[in-house]
């Protein structure tokens, strides 16, 4: 499965994603995911990586300096857009993400 093409198609065909103001979509070298820039309430990068062992995805959020600030594991393909959309519009910057993660512990 060429996960990069599948995810790219999902992103480009869903109207929710237009609000992300995403750009610079780059397929990962092994075709198992994508990396792209988001310029909405959350300013940073999102990486979606396919795990062929369990047919689920990892979604990682990075700040503009490309420091990982949040990771979601075990996301089903039908939930990718929803999971990203939820984070992109809830969390505005890396400080808010860290505060959110610490409050959950």
Q: Tally the domains of the chain.
A: 1
Domain extent, residue 92, equals 3-104
Write down the pTM of the prediction. 0.80
- CA gap 14, 7 in Å, rounded: 11
**Rounded CA gap, 35 and 24, in Å?**
8
Q: Where are the alpha helices (DSSP H) in 1-105?
A: 3-13, 80-90, 94-104
What are the residues facing 83 on neighbouring strands?
none
List CB contacts of 46: < 8 A, sequence separation 6 or more. Answer: 22, 35, 36, 38, 59, 60, 61, 62, 84, 88
pLDDT at 89: 76
Give residue-wise pLDDT tens across range 7-62: 889 888 888 888 888 998 999 988 899 999 998 888 899 999 999 999 999 999 99
């Amino acid at each position: 499965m060429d996960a990069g093409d599948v995810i790219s198609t999902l992103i480009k065909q869903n109207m929710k994603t237009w609000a992300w103001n995403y750009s610079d979509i780059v397929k990962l070298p092994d075709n198992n995911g994508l990396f792209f820039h988001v310029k909405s309430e959350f300013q940073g990068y999102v990486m979606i990586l396919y795990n062929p062992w369990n047919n689920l995805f990892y979604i990682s959020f990075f700040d503009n300096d490309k420091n990982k600030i949040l990771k979601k594991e075990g996301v089903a393909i039908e939930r990718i857009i929803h999971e990203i959309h939820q984070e992109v519009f809830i969390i505005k910057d890396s400080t808010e993400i860290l505060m959110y993660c610490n409050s959950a512990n």
